Structure 1
Amino acid sequence: MPLSQVSSGGEPVLRQEIADSWRRSRLFGVTPHLDTSAISVVDVDARSRLMSAARPVLDQLTGHLGGTRFCVLLADRDCRLVYRWFGDHHIRRQIEDVGAFQGSGFGEGTVGTNALGTPYESGRAVRIHGDEHYAEALKRFSCYGHPIRHPLTGRVEGVLDISGVSSDGNPLFGPLVSRAVQDIEQLIVEGARASERRLFLAFQEATRHRSVPVAVLGGDVVFANKICTDQLSPADPAILRMLLPQLPERGEFRTVIDVGEGVTVSVTAERVPGAPSGAVFHVARTERDTRTGGGTGRKDEPWRSAVITGEPGSGRSSRARASAGAGEVVVLDAASALRADAPQWAGEFARLVERAGTTVVLDDLHCFPPQLLTTVANALDHGVSARMVITTCPADQASAEVTAVVARCEQTVSLKPLRERLDELPALAATMLDVEQPGRRPRFTGAALAALRAHPWPGNLHELRAVLRDVARLPCTGVIDLKHLPPGYRSSGRTRRLGSRDLAERNAIVQALRSHGGNKLRAARALGVSRTTLYRRMRTLEVTEDCPDM
């Protein structure tokens, strides 16, 4: 038995690879007495490239194991089970007792040391016997897991595992699983060659005659010339992967992406015939003027007063400070206005707005007392020497008194909620992570970006910042994958594949249900549809009663 030594304190002495895994499990917050019945289960693609390549090998492998008390498990690149085979009903019952169902996540961050998650994290084959498992519920098993890598890209495509009860552990499983993995990897290459050849030819054709920013994406393949990666900086070509579900089968697709630091990228994309999920992207970078933040006024004209509207957390306060420009900035927020003596506040406000070169920011005007709203309106009517920037709620939620003040401002900027700015997500996330851990600059995988994109973000930027603060605490490397996101933000595979229109509709439904406490009749009325239509769209878009977005 591998645990043949015991330390002076009575603790088992673990092999180095197992000790490293236990340390990662603790850092992920996994406890030895975890409740495996709480393991999340999501939809998985049973017709993926991995399954297509693995199917004949698995049929042969399980043929050798027929009548034994072992099982064969296959996890995908998200470390979720996509295939299960059992030699008899006893091992099936024991495996399902620990939550191992189709679509279950078995990463180390979920269940600790195990023969799916540990090979995935370490990138090499691992044997785990009995007490070497971190979670008590898994100590009854003896397992051998081996990562499956794409031979061309080197990326882990999945993990193959043979497991049995600990008393039945067999050292011959190592060579058996290793051989099966080699066969699967060879079939992955053979199946991908034709598609990847088409992608490469499309890239050659797009860049043949002139140096233009071009990227070609399909599966794990990314071809991008240097001028393209320069155009997308500080983002990553993986940002384009989010657009793939939106592309039509025929014809061009055009959009504009905000990649941060005052840069937008215009994208024109078209699918590559004969290459599933493959497309050619032409990009063009545009620097934009962010000094005023945009608005209804003409940006070449000087302005003395501006109002910035938006939902809570949409960035109203940050935009107000950014639009102030050089000079002194004084912020008068709603909290101070509610606490202050009204005449005293009005006198201080009057002194401030007469100071030339000063910008006075009135934050959350919709929460100000009515008498102070009158003071602000009068100041705008008579003209002031300082610049004034007001932040407030969306126009359709504002009171008549607030609307009257807003109408007096020269410029209006309406900030969209985050759910309507999903193309900006990668840039926003990168900026926020840089604040949490300066200089780290991690890269999001396509799956992680798609999951963030699928969330309705009722808390807007505040909510996104809280999520990324959690991510920044995890012991992940330079890559942030789906497993690094909080559980409630890992959408199902079906949801991640929704296009922009369906995703916007799903978010609107979730938002309406949330606003009306789950009452479907009132939510349907707010959306302007019948209750029958709402139920039908909920089923189609996978909005469930226990949806984590609710």
Structure 2
Amino acid sequence: MDQNHWTSTPKPGRLLQQARDSFLTSGDLNSKVVREPIQASWLRSSRLRVDTDNLDPAYHELDGPTPLALSAAPVLSALANELANESVSIILTDQHGLVLQRACPDPALVRQLDKAHLAPGFSYAEEEVGTNGIGTALEAGVPTMVTGSEHFTGSLGGFACAGAPIHHPVTGSLLGVLDLTSSVTHSNALLMFCARSTAQKIEHQLLTRSGARELALFRDYLAACQHPGSGVMALSADLVMMNNQAQQRFDPADQAALLARSADAAGSPNPVTLVADLPSGLVARMDYRPSFAGSELAGGVLRIQVQSGLDSSTGAPASVVPVMPGLAGTSATWQRVCQAVDTSRRNGSWMVLEGEAGVGKIALLRSVNQLRNSSGHFRVMDSAEASPAWLDTIAEELSVGAGSLVVRRAHLLDSDTISALSELLLEYADQRRGVWVALTMRSEPRNPEVDAQLLPHFSHTVEVPPLRHHLEDMHKLVPHLLGRLNRGNSLTISPAALAQLMRLPWLGNVEQLRRVLLRIAQHRRSGTIELDDLPGECRATTRRRLTQLESLERDAVVKALVIHRGNKDKAASDLGMSRATIYRKIRDYGIVLTI
């Protein structure tokens, strides 16, 4: 969009006030008076239920100067000198709209800002105060001017705010906003120009500082790479490096696990030694050493050594994974799970399968039963249907002494049923050589009574990973599902369409993928599925390739949303971010909510 559109001269105050009043009372938008970006912000603010009359932004204690504040300090000091005789406040915020610094030479304006809580520690995200130069610039991602009655909250109508986003000069990530605020009567056209040019100067300063830090980190990384026989990984807040030995030694799932484990050391100024159990069954030792540019922490370097090639749970050499009937997937992550369930079935040891809905827990148990149970008897008892008769059926299954019994979705059981089931399992424990019992449940949220009374009956628990953690299996999984859904017809998928499917986070996991493919197969029964054949939910996703850090962040957001059944407020609270931020992450990562 043309920058001039964002900074064009606002309409006269009376017309804007009338347009705002009309929107707040009837929802009508006057496009001839209200600029398009302000319209969009008003709609967002309305959906977020921002108070139109009272200001009560969240307050957070500031821990100290952030890297952004340190880099911006000389630039803001020079600007403050230039504006020493002007009634303008210079405000720096972080990427969430939290005010980090404020400088203002006019005592009268300072009092107005304090009254509006536009001060260090307060959040000026859109979700807190509605349309404003800080929060709206963060949401739009471009320099934004908000004047007078363009503000959503009436008590901000006396201000003119010009906010310019600050981006990291290397990664492009959004770091914060430089905002210049004055009273409407002192506003002029240069406010936006000055904010934009100052943000650019801060970005240049960031480049200088980050260049020194990254050079120091890279130097230590190269030194660590000189030691033969070890994988090396270097990381900072904006950068991840991994040498060839680490990339060749560890598959993508193991690499992701190493990166996730390294988060326990990241940012530490002291050496740390970590141990990581990897999806492949390997155990890795990670020796972290901090890297400094002068006195400033630049990141850290980790030397990675494989401690053993043994199965981390049994200590035995890893065995060959059998071909699982009715399943598809060859990734190390998926094969490790298949092997664990197959071993449990062969040994007759009762087990628990945990995981998100739709990951394939029942399909995996059914496959192992088909592979190892000569009688073929397989019974699934859904906890959602629990009743006295349900418990009687379980007792009958246990007394048969053959085949497989699965108690599905055990986390849904009530207290009385849990106690009764526990007594049944205890009574028939000596018959484990006959009937094999498995429990399935979600990893989160936990049911404490299930954990206390039922889990002790089962020798171990295996977590089935969500589809987004083994997307490399899509190459096998999609053709497999299409073959089952479209029997008798030849239906394939193009590389471009498959690549697009692999960009999705799949909150509903394999079951969601099956439903999507079923919908496609109902309209196209032969030929090749192309991009245009995919439903809208499969095309509303980010087109860029995510970095490893971004992938971890996306997974954290997805996990929180899954745990809280799509409730964004609760997910944001768990992640320590604002509602505005989690909405932005959902949009940036193309997370499609189907739960």
Q: TM-score range by the shorter chain?
A: 0.5 to 0.7
Mapped contact 2:158–2:183 kept (Cα < 8 A): yes
Query: Which one of 317, 338, 341 corresponds to residue 291 of structure 1?
Result: 338
Q: Counterpart of 1:151?
A: 169
How far did 1:165 drift?
1.9
How far did 1:130 drift?
1.5
* Pairing 1:361–2:379 present: no
Return closer, same or farther for 1:329/1:394 CA change in 2, 3 Å cut-off.
farther
How far did 1:112 drift?
3.2
How far does the alpha carbon of each residue in 1:218-256 deviate from its partner, in whole angstroms, 9 at most, with x for none? Answer: 242333457767857364997466233475623x52231
Return closer, same or farther for 1:447/1:168 CA change in 2, 3 Å cut-off.
farther
How far does the alpha carbon of each residue in 1:353-411 deviate from its partner, in whole angstroms, 9 at most, with x for none? Answer: 4553x333374687437666555444432456442125797799746xx69xx56xxx6
**Residues in 2 aligned to 1:36 and 1:215: alpha-carbon distance in whole angstroms:** 46
What amino acid is the match of 1:149?
A: H
How far did 1:205 drift?
3.6
Q: Counterpart of 1:269?
A: 288
Mapped contact 2:352–2:439 kept (Cα < 8 A): yes
Mapped contact 2:361–2:440 kept (Cα < 8 A): no
* Pairing 1:465–2:465 present: no
Query: Which one of 3, 7, 10 corresponds to residue 2 of structure 1?
Result: 10
How far did 1:128 drift?
1.6
**Residues in 1 aligned to 2:246 and 2:31: alpha-carbon distance in whole angstroms:** 53
Q: Which has the higher contact order (CA 8 A, sep 6+)?
A: 1
Paired residue secondary structure (1:368) = helix
Return closer, same or farther for 1:10/1:239 CA change in 2, 3 Å cut-off.
closer
Return closer, same or farther for 1:284/1:359 CA change in 2, 3 Å cut-off.
farther
* Pairing 1:304–2:360 present: no
Mapped contact 2:164–2:177 kept (Cα < 8 A): yes
How far does the alpha carbon of each residue in 1:305-324 deviate from its partner, in whole angstroms, 9 at most, with x for none? Answer: 414499xx999x98687556
Mapped contact 1:293–1:319 kept (Cα < 8 A): no
Return closer, same or farther for 1:165/1:208 CA change in 2, 3 Å cut-off.
same
How far did 1:70 drift?
2.6
What amino acid is the match of 1:114?
A: N
RMSD value, Cα:
5.1
Mapped contact 1:112–1:135 kept (Cα < 8 A): yes
Q: Counterpart of 2:123?
A: 105
* Pairing 1:243–2:264 present: yes
Q: Counterpart of 1:93?
A: 111
* Pairing 1:127–2:145 present: yes
How far did 1:272 drift?
2.1
How far did 1:142 drift?
0.6
**Residues in 2 aligned to 1:88 and 1:448: alpha-carbon distance in whole angstroms:** 45
Mapped contact 2:29–2:39 kept (Cα < 8 A): no
How far did 1:198 drift?
1.1
Paired residue secondary structure (1:115) = coil
TM-score by length of 1: 0.64
Paired residue secondary structure (2:437) = strand
* Pairing 1:490–2:576 present: yes
What amino acid is the match of 1:233?
A: P
* Pairing 1:33–2:52 present: yes
| 1:150-549 alignment runs, 5 A limit | 150-207=168-225, 214-224=232-242, 231=250, 233=252, 235=256, 239=260, 242-245=263-266, 247=268, 249-250=270-271, 253-256=273-276, 267-274=286-293, 276-282=297-303, 287=332, 289-291=336-338, 293=340, 299=343, 302-308=346-352, 322=364, 325-327=368-370, 329-332=378-381, 336-340=385-389, 344-345=392-393, 348-349=396-397, 353-354=400-401, 356=403, 358-361=404-407, 363=410, 367-368=416-417, 375-382=424-431, 385-390=434-439, 398=452, 412-413=459-460, 433=507, 435=509, 440=541, 465-467=562-564, 469-471=566-568, 486-487=572-573, 489-490=575-576
What amino acid is the match of 1:412?
A: S
How far did 1:22 drift?
3.9
Return closer, same or farther for 1:489/1:201 CA change in 2, 3 Å cut-off.
closer
What amino acid is the match of 1:340?
A: A
Mapped contact 2:560–2:574 kept (Cα < 8 A): no
What amino acid is the match of 1:165?
A: S
Paired residue secondary structure (1:290) = helix
How far does the alpha carbon of each residue in 1:243-300 deviate from its partner, in whole angstroms, 9 at most, with x for none? Answer: 33475623x5223166x79998764432224361411235589846213658xxx948
Return closer, same or farther for 1:36/1:61 CA change in 2, 3 Å cut-off.
same
How far did 1:54 drift?
1.9
Return closer, same or farther for 1:49/1:371 CA change in 2, 3 Å cut-off.
closer
Query: Which one of 76, 86, 93 corresponds to residue 58 of structure 1?
Result: 76
Mapped contact 1:329–1:361 kept (Cα < 8 A): no
**Residues in 1 aligned to 2:205 and 2:194: alpha-carbon distance in whole angstroms:** 17
Paired residue secondary structure (2:181) = strand
Q: How many residues matched?
A: 450
Return closer, same or farther for 1:183/1:249 CA change in 2, 3 Å cut-off.
same
**Residues in 1 aligned to 2:174 and 2:559: alpha-carbon distance in whole angstroms:** 34
How far does the alpha carbon of each residue in 1:76-118 deviate from its partner, in whole angstroms, 9 at most, with x for none? Answer: 2333111012333432233233332322222334433321223
Return closer, same or farther for 1:464/1:161 CA change in 2, 3 Å cut-off.
closer
Paired residue secondary structure (2:137) = helix
**Residues in 1 aligned to 2:174 and 2:418: alpha-carbon distance in whole angstroms:** 59
**Residues in 1 aligned to 2:60 and 2:226: alpha-carbon distance in whole angstroms:** 43
* Pairing 1:44–2:56 present: no
How far did 1:75 drift?
0.7
Identity of aligned residues (%): 20
**Residues in 1 aligned to 2:394 and 2:142: alpha-carbon distance in whole angstroms:** 69
How far does the alpha carbon of each residue in 1:303-362 deviate from its partner, in whole angstroms, 9 at most, with x for none? Answer: 33414499xx999x98687556344653335564544286x53664357x4553x33337
Mapped contact 1:30–1:110 kept (Cα < 8 A): no
Q: Counterpart of 2:100?
A: 82
How far does the alpha carbon of each residue in 1:460-519 deviate from its partner, in whole angstroms, 9 at most, with x for none? Answer: x99762447245xxxxxxxxxxx9952464179xxxxxxxxxxxxxxxxxxxxxxxxxxx
Mapped contact 2:275–2:283 kept (Cα < 8 A): no
Mapped contact 2:261–2:276 kept (Cα < 8 A): no
What are the ranges of 5 or more consecutive residues in structure 1 without an aligned counterpart? 456-460, 472-482, 493-550
Paired residue secondary structure (2:80) = helix
Return closer, same or farther for 1:238/1:389 CA change in 2, 3 Å cut-off.
closer
Return closer, same or farther for 1:280/1:348 CA change in 2, 3 Å cut-off.
same
Paired residue secondary structure (1:46) = coil
TM-score by length of 2: 0.60
Q: Counterpart of 1:521?
A: none
**Residues in 2 aligned to 1:185 and 1:54: alpha-carbon distance in whole angstroms:** 8
**Residues in 2 aligned to 1:140 and 1:168: alpha-carbon distance in whole angstroms:** 10
What amino acid is the match of 1:154?
A: G
What amino acid is the match of 2:100?
A: V
How far did 1:61 drift?
2.0
How far does the alpha carbon of each residue in 1:399-440 deviate from its partner, in whole angstroms, 9 at most, with x for none? Answer: 6xx69xx56xxx611589xxxx9xx9x959x96636487685
**Residues in 2 aligned to 1:26 and 1:445: alpha-carbon distance in whole angstroms:** 35
Q: Counterpart of 1:477?
A: none
Q: Counterpart of 1:15?
A: 35
**Residues in 1 aligned to 2:128 and 2:258: alpha-carbon distance in whole angstroms:** 29
Q: Counterpart of 1:475?
A: none
**Residues in 1 aligned to 2:298 and 2:449: alpha-carbon distance in whole angstroms:** 41
How far did 1:55 drift?
1.8
What amino acid is the match of 1:306?
A: W
How far does the alpha carbon of each residue in 1:141-166 deviate from its partner, in whole angstroms, 9 at most, with x for none? Answer: 11111222333333333211111222
